[in-house]
Structure 1
Amino acid sequence: MSLRSGDPEEIGGYPLEARLGSGGMGTVFLGRTASGRPVAIKLIHQQFANDDEFRTRFRQEVAAARRVSGAFTAAVVDADPEGLHPWMATTYIEGPTLAQRIAGRGPIGGAELRSLAIGLAEALRDIHRADVVHRDLKPSNVVLSDEGPRVIDFGISRAADQQTLTMTGRVIGTPPFMSPEQLQTPRGVGPSSDVFSLGTLLVYAATGQGPFDADSPYMTAYQVVHEAPALDSVPPALRAAVEPCLAKDPAARPSVDELLVLLRDLPAELEVVAGGGRTRDVVTEHQLGRDDTSGEPGPAAAAPEPRPRGPRRRWRPALAAVAVIGVVAAGVALLDAGPEGTPDGPDGKGRNVAATGAAALPGGFRPWRQDVPAGKAKIPDEVRCLPGGDSVYCGGGGVIATRVRVADGKRLWTRGGPGVPVQDMYLAGLATAGGRDGHQGPGSAKDPGSAENPARTVIGYRIAAEGSAGPDEVVGLDAARGTELWSAPFGAHSTAVAGPGAADAVVTGSTVLTADADGTRLEARDARSGRTLWTSPFRAGDQCAPLGAGGRAYLMCAPKAQVTAGEVRRVTVRGVRLASGELGRPVGVAGPVEPLGADGGRLVLARQRVGEIGVVEYDAVVRLDAGRGKATTTRLPRAYGGAPRLVDGTVYFTEQSGRVSAVDAASGRLRWAEHTGVEGASGPSAGPGALYFGSAGGRVAALAPRDGERLWSTDPKVNGGSDLRPTPRVTFAGRAAIVSGAGNLLYAFDTAKPPKSG
């Protein structure tokens, strides 16, 4: 893949020739030494270089890679982990990854399988002799070179004599290839964990599937911890060597030296079991990111991101070295709902009758696609949009805001940002002249920009350029022309306190609320002029985030020590009087909790817990009456995984697999549970006659609100993977759906005539 505009010409004195891939932690380039030798150079994104946790992890990766440089790994050529732009250069290894080999040609057998098994065991022996535990052995981290297999990517490895780097709220690894102890007690992971992972790799190589594969990462992880491996399709001779590696008890597994003895005794030509496993690559088929370069050597894409509390993550990982169990929970196989894209319309004309009610199309509307240009950093991600009059206003993906006409998709103005996009940071809201709530937060069904109530000011974010000393700012733009009215620095602490999807700037009527850059006080500004209306200091020792829901403003706070440690056990919520900044009485809520929106004048929150194998789940719904200073907690009959969203009194838990559970926000009763048929679909958005779910690839699925029946779904527009995000990707202007996705994708269609699938 050739270099892109904005890519450096050289790194550390090494001229660059091509871009091998890019991800959340950095970009990998092909460079040359002075003698002409090819090297792979990983350049860390600048925003991560400014993050102590990521910088520590990169130092650890460089140190581990240096310790194990040998015949079976990519040797470190040069590195500068302490530089302003940290980087590491390693030997360039030409060849496909094991993931690519299995996906393209199916399972491995015969002498090739024996050589692979011995080569990987020898590589692991050398890694352990250097006192390093890899902790992320998986198909995309094994390169099949002409000289034999090479183990790469030590991004989450650690020296055996060091403490584990704790990633707050996360279990690090890839579920199909993790050991039981890595899922349950990651601090206690040792060399025997790599032996377990090697066993799963060899089963995968021989059969095309892992020994614990299931319909969702959650169930896969459960089977790793509790169930026996599926080994029927493994050649018997190899099975005798592999099965002891998969013991649940680390002490019962062989050492790498013992395993090598078993593998070297294998017959020269391993037999292939008839009727072997699937040939698809279980990991990459579901987890490939937008910039995956499957035809190129190098690590494959990362698994779905978690939803931890902690420092904000910039730019969605698409080629990251770290894969994690995130917001995924027990899923089911896709339900058979008939041919996708076939509208449920009795008129026989192919129309979606459910969407042909009162909602009308904007005048002159026709379907369109208008991908939003990325900002000055030239790195797209995703945008989100809010309707306003005859337009939608979109932000994110390196863009402060853009105005797009609904009728034909024409961009009327765009204000690009100088910095790298920040994941899950989009448009803050639309401020109105009439004092109505202009922030379309979770569960809001209001249109702040209707013809009767046009938006006056667009509130977006400007993220500072890499290497810049300037602050991140909240920006007010004139909605008609896009001219900048004002800007002010803000504190990016909301997600650490209030969870994924929490906004750092809250727009309520004509007022914008933010925490100051130092995180010490709440600031209120006039949305049009940017003038400070009032400030309200936070209590000493607290970290706080503004919230907006149902036209009202709130302040959620947690002890700073708990936030820093990633263990928020209790939060305090207060109502905020917009006229004066006066705070209402504090209401304590056991945490961590995530605000979902308003229902019946009450703030609704979902209580979070970490399940048995490190998966984020939700076990209760909290309804908070700020005026009375009272919170009512309703325990759910079971814990739900996925991303919660409140729409019309119902909380929808959407899992990575595409399964949706609809739960009554007041009673906690399950109304229905169905499958969208779309992996990583965020939502729902309440639109004409249906609930709409959108994926990073631009697919849209429509479900009936009453029972979750799948009405129709569309084909993807881009290669967006299965990226679950907390905010929905579909918004509406009358009957027109405006959909966003990976690569700053933006397109629109008539919900009565959705694009046909297939």
Structure 2
Amino acid sequence: MSLRAGDPAEIGGYPLEARLGSGGMGTVFLARTASGRPVAVKLIHRHFAEDDEFRIRFRQEVAAARRVSGAFTAAVVDADPEADQPWMATAYIEGRTLAQHCAADGPLSGAKLRNLAIGLAEALRDIHRAGVVHRDLKPSNVVLSPEGPRVIDFGISRAADQETLTMTGRIIGTPPFMSPEQLQSPRDVGPRSDVFSLGTLLVYAATGSGPFGADSPYLMAYQVVHEEPSLGAVPEALRAVVEPCLAKEPGERPSSDELLVLLRNLPVDLGGADAAGPGAGRPGDMATQHLSPTPVGPGAASTLGGRRPRHRWRPALAVAVAVAAIGGSVAALNAVRSGGDDRGKSVAASEAPLPDGFRPWRKVVLGGREDIPDELRCVARGDAVYCGGGGVVAARLRAHDGSRVWTVKSPGVPAQGVHLVGATGDAVLGYRIAAEDDPGSPPTEVVAVDATSGRELWSAPSGAQSQAVTGRTQDAVVLGSAVVMVDGPDSRLEARDAHSGAVRWATPFPGGTQCAPVPAGPRLFAMCATRAEIDAVAVRHPTLYEVDRASGKLGAPIAVDGPAVPMGVAGGTLVLLREHLDGVAWDGYDSVARVDPASREVTYSRLGRTYAGTPGMADGTVYVSGQTGLVTAIDPSTGRQRWSRQTDVEGASGPVAGGGRLYFSSATGRVVALSPHDGATLWTTGPRADGLTGEQGASPRVTVAGRAVIVAAAKNTLFAFDTRKPPRAG
């Protein structure tokens, strides 16, 4: 929708391009950051600017949106609630709203309905873990993005630990999707009010109509408070989960965590709305195309037949589901232990021993500040485990019991994805971020510490261009006894002795480019892009140069059709995954590129479809792990899918290979072990930390130390266990 006469040209320094929609509180515009990234800017209507109550509420909206910015919501980019006309900019999420989708294509069914339900439950769980109650879950506040559903608009949300602000004489909420307590006693609204709203939302998604239907909002409010929901057209398996969500009393509803357990165990084929019954619509399909959203309200509600008695939520139901999940995991584990097939025997036979004196352990590695995000990653060398990231430059723990030997802390707040660099035989290398009140220090430094004592050996300023060039944060890499890094001014690659810091060679970037080091087995490449493409956040024509590890001399340029992300080496070739873009929006990976260093030829193979998720490579195979737990193995030489396996680990990073297994893990510490042969699930653990799921692009969290695995989870939590005796799921 184009801008109208009277619309501002820019808001807060963000040039406006189009209107996305307008509502009772404000207008949302499409804008661009200085680097070209699209953002959605919400501008509050001018007549609200003089309303003190509304300004307080808008400040709460900004604060709530900042608290929950994560995998399932739109991250806050900027805001000014004190401006003459308050505004907030968030990441722009392309896709139709659930309301738009159901109005155009009818309700969802089958796997699409199940994935929507799980995604919304995950969003709700993470919102509640951030201490926020949304209070306005409805179809127009759910965007069906290519990466999964996103919950938007925290305009009437509140922190669970704050007093509720009730705007005088105004209805706060949307009646068809409000809970009974929200209509009767707004000050008593808590997280389980959102669970009720999610229940109504899932009924709407499955049938095209809500569970309460009346022409008047007053009659509808009466039905919400006093009458039973109409669920006759809801698929039976989903109905069993939705019913307790719609209990009149909050205490009779499941929590968002309990709800997620139930939804994960629903069958993939949920069915859909009864085509011959009330509330039927056209076959639904989750929107995976990039469409500019326009405001469309939820479809008109209609009364559904087949009412069922309301049942009290029973925790025993969750226990039964968990026991069923445990049973499946234990059965798979027992097959491996007992050598029930040849594959299980080969796994056991190929394992290294446990570290001497090993027993399972769990530790928290404290950094410089308590609010540092989860960023720890580790490497193991014998009984030494070196970890770093977040507020930790580096730390050394003992692999057998997790006891700490030393820790070196970082005073500043790191960039996303800045982890431990690596370790040699006598030095450990990590990143130090300057404190906010220390403008004289380099923003980012590579720091080397003595592996035995933790004493700092040297430090050098480091640039931060690698993520823009390669799609990965890897400004420094350890190769043998050297560390290759980008220098502070972002002008050259440097190779330094890992222990002394002496510069072995320095190679300027080719003119007009920025580069990043790319290790490829025993080889080293520089991946470069023009400054213009980096500034435009559109690196479509990267160039690779093989780097002589002894002298730093660059080889002949190799042009790559990008954007592309380096994966690793297979058959002597460098493997990259090419990203598929729709405009400026990332849509996943659609092909494999293989670079032959000898001939400088690049070969491309199209994938069977576009895969979205977190990519990785192990033992010559490319893997993509999706947000909902689907892991796909891809042959890099042909682009063909080798196998695909649905797991219980959402937003997993990996793979890490060891002992004949592949390990994938999420920020919650949940780990799955798969057979590399066919993806068979060998075992799955339960979550071990309070972290977000659904993350994409994270680097692997598992470190193998003999027969033990060490897992990095949220809030700088580390834990280790014997792969033959994994913690039980549930």
Shared fold, TM over 0.5: yes
Query: For residues 515-553 of structure 1, what are the alpha-carbon distances to aligned partners after superposition, in whole Å with 9 as ceiling and x for unaligned?
Result: 222212222212111112222222232121111120221
1:316 aligned partner = none
Report the Cα distance in structure 1 between the residues aligned to 2:35 and 2:583, rounded to whole angstroms.
25
Distance 1:209 1:675 in 2: 25
Deviations 1:596-652 (A, max 9, x none): 111222211000012599453101111112232211111112111111111111111
Map 1:19-34; keep pairs closer than 5 Å.
none
Matched with 1:235 is 212
Match of 1:209 in 2: 201
Report the counterpart of residue 315 of structure 2 in structure 1: none
Match of 2:545 in 1: 574
1:350–1:753: 8 Å Cα contact kept in structure 2? no
CA distance in 1, matches of 2:538, 2:350: 47
Map 1:68-217 → 2, pairs under 5 A: 69=51, 74-75=56-57, 137-138=152-153, 142-143=157-158, 145-147=165-167, 205=197, 207-210=199-202
For 2:402 and 2:643, the matched residues in 1 are separated by: 36
Residues 1:510 and 1:613: Cα distance change in structure 2 (over 3 Å): closer
Find the counterpart in structure 2 of residue 374 from structure 1: 367
Aligned to 1:627: 598
* Residue equivalent to 1:113: none
- Cα distance in 2 for partners of 1:587, 1:526 equals 28
The separation in 1 between residues aligned to 2:655 and 2:624, in whole angstroms, is 9
Query: Could you tell me which residue of structure 2 aligns to residue 640 of structure 1?
Result: 611
- Give the structure 1 partner of residue 433 of structure 2: 463
What residue number does 2:566 align with?
A: 595
Relative to structure 1, the CA distance from residue 202 to residue 726 in structure 2 (aligned partners, 3 Å threshold; closer, same or farther) is closer
* Change beyond 3 A, Cα 1:623–1:349: closer
Tell me if 1:757 matches 2:729. Answer: yes
Distance in 2, Cα, partners of 1:648 & 1:141: 50
Structure 1 match to 2:707: 735
Percent identity for Structure 1 against Structure 2: 40
**CA pair 267-478 structure 1, distance change in 2 beyond 3 A:** closer
Offset, 1:376? 4.6
Aligned partners of 2:325, 2:478: CA distance in 1, in Å? 42
Q: How far did residue 385 of structure 1 move?
A: 0.6
2:479 to 490, 505, 508: 508
Residue identity matched to 2:717: L
The corresponding residue for 2:643 is 672
Closer, same or farther: CA 337–538 of 1 in aligned 2, 3 Å: same
Q: Secondary structure at the match of 1:679?
A: coil
- CA deviation after TM superposition for structure 1 residue 355, in Å: 3.9
Structure 2 unmatched runs, 5+: 1-32, 64-77, 87-119, 126-134, 142-149, 159-163, 178-192, 246-252, 261-321
Amino acid at match of 1:365: F
Contact 2:377/2:419 (CA < 8 Å) preserved in 1?
Answer: yes
Change beyond 3 A, Cα 1:531–1:282:
farther
Paired position in structure 2 for 1:563: 534
**1:748 aligned counterpart, secondary structure:** strand
Instruction: Report which stretch shifted further, 60-69 or 479-488.
Output: 60-69
Per-residue Cα deviation, 1:224-247 (whole angstroms, up to 9, x for no partner) = xxxxx7324443336xxxxxxxxx
Q: Tell me by how many angstroms 1:69 deviates.
A: 4.8
2:465 corresponding residue in structure 1: 493
Say yes or no: does 1:407 pair with 2:400.
Answer: yes
SS of the residue corresponding to residue 469 of structure 2 reads helix
Contact kept, 8 Å, 1:76 with 1:89, in 2: the verdict is no
Q: How do 1:350-361 and structure 2 match up within 5 A? A: 354-355=347-348, 357-361=350-354
Partners of 1:53 and 1:600 in 2: CA distance:
38
- Structure 1 269/600 Cα, relative in aligned 2: closer, same or farther at 3 Å? closer
TM-aligned CA deviation for residue 392 of structure 1: 1.2
Q: 1:584 to 1:61 in 2, by over 3 A?
A: farther
Specify the code of the residue in structure 2 equivalent to 1:344: L
Q: How does 1:328-407 map to 2 (within 5 A)?
A: 339-346=328-335, 354-355=347-348, 357-376=350-369, 379-407=372-400
Q: What CA distance in whole angstroms lies between the structure 1 residues aligned with 2:659 and 2:599?
A: 36
The yes-or-no answer on 1:521 pairing with 2:492 is yes
**Deviation for aligned residue 1:347:** 7.8
* Conserved 8 A contact 2:37-2:537: no
Say whether 1:699 aligns with 2:670: yes
1:607-618 equivalent positions in 2, closer than 5 A = 607-611=578-582, 614-618=585-589
The Cα shift of 1:757 comes to: 2.5
Deviation of residue 378 (structure 1)? 5.5
Equivalent residue of 2:657, what SS? Answer: strand
SS of corresponding position for 1:557: strand
Going from structure 1 to structure 2, the CA distance change for 1:482 and 1:564 (only over 3 Å counts) comes to same
Pairwise CA distance, 1:53: 7.3
Q: What TM-score, normalized to structure 1?
A: 0.60
Q: 2:556 aligns with which of 585, 606, 609?
A: 585
TM-score (norm 2): 0.63
Aligned mates of 2:714, 2:394 — CA distance in 1: 17
Alignment check: 8 A CA contact 2:200 2:210 kept: no
Q: How far apart in 1 are the matches of 2:508 and 2:605?
A: 32
Q: Which amino acid aligns with 1:209?
A: L
Distance 1:716 1:266, change over 3 A: closer
Q: CA deviation at 1:79?
A: 14
Answer whether contact 1:585 1:626 (CA < 8 A) is retained.
no
Contact conserved, 1:683 with 1:728, CA < 8 A, in 2? Answer: yes
8 Å CA contact retained: 1:569, 1:591: yes
Cα deviation, residue 512, structure 1 = 1.6
CA–CA distance in 2 between the matches of 1:613 and 1:86? 23
Give the conservation status (yes or no) of the 8 Å contact 2:48–2:54.
no
1:474 to partner: Cα distance: 0.5
- Distance between the aligned counterparts of 1:731 and 1:65, measured in 2? 57
Opposite residue 274 of structure 1, the aligned amino acid is S
Question: Is the 2:375–2:418 contact (alpha carbons within 8 Å) kept by the matching residues of 1?
Answer: no
Q: Shift of residue 563 of structure 1?
A: 1.3
Superposed displacement of residue 211, structure 1: 7.0
Distance change (3 Å), C-alpha of 1:407 and 1:728: same
C-alpha separation in 2, matches of 1:403 and 1:740: 14
Partner of residue 654 from structure 2, selected from 680, 683, 687: 683
Q: Secondary structure at the match of 2:676?
A: coil
Once the two structures are overlaid, the 10-residue window that deviates more, 262-271 or 382-391, is 262-271
Deviation sequence 1:487-529 (CA, Å, 0-9, x none): 00011010011003x3111211122222222212222212111
Contact between 1:62 and 1:88, CA under 8 Å: does it hold in 2?
Answer: no
User: Does the 8 Å CA contact 2:572/2:596 hold for their aligned counterparts?
Assistant: yes
Q: Distance in 2 between matches of 1:666 and 1:374?
A: 43
Structure 1 contact 487–530 (Cα < 8 Å) conserved: yes
Note if contact 1:203-1:210 (Cα within 8 Å) is conserved in structure 2: no
Offset, 1:390? 1.7
> In the comparison of the two structures, how many residue pairs are matched?
520
Q: Distance in 1 between matches of 2:397 and 2:371?
A: 20
- What is the CA–CA distance in structure 2 between the aligned matches of 1:645 and 1:732, rounded to whole Å? 16
Q: Cα 1:286–1:69, aligned 2, differ >3 Å: closer, same or farther?
A: farther
- In the TM superposition, what is the alpha-carbon distance from 1:728 to its structure 2 partner? 1.0
Question: For residues 628 and 172 of structure 2, what CA distance do their matches in structure 1 show?
Answer: 32
Q: Are residues 520 and 205 of structure 1, via their aligned partners in 2, closer, same or farther at CA, if it must alter by over 3 Å?
A: same
- Give yes or no for contact 2:355–2:383 (8 Å, CA) kept in 1: yes
2:185 is matched with which residue? none
Assess if the C-alpha contact under 8 Å between 1:374 and 1:380 holds in 2.
no
Between the aligned partners of 2:662 and 2:483, the Cα distance in structure 1 is: 30
**CA separation in 2, counterparts of 1:701 and 1:120?**
34
Asked whether the 8 Å contact 2:361–2:719 carries over to 1, the reply is: yes
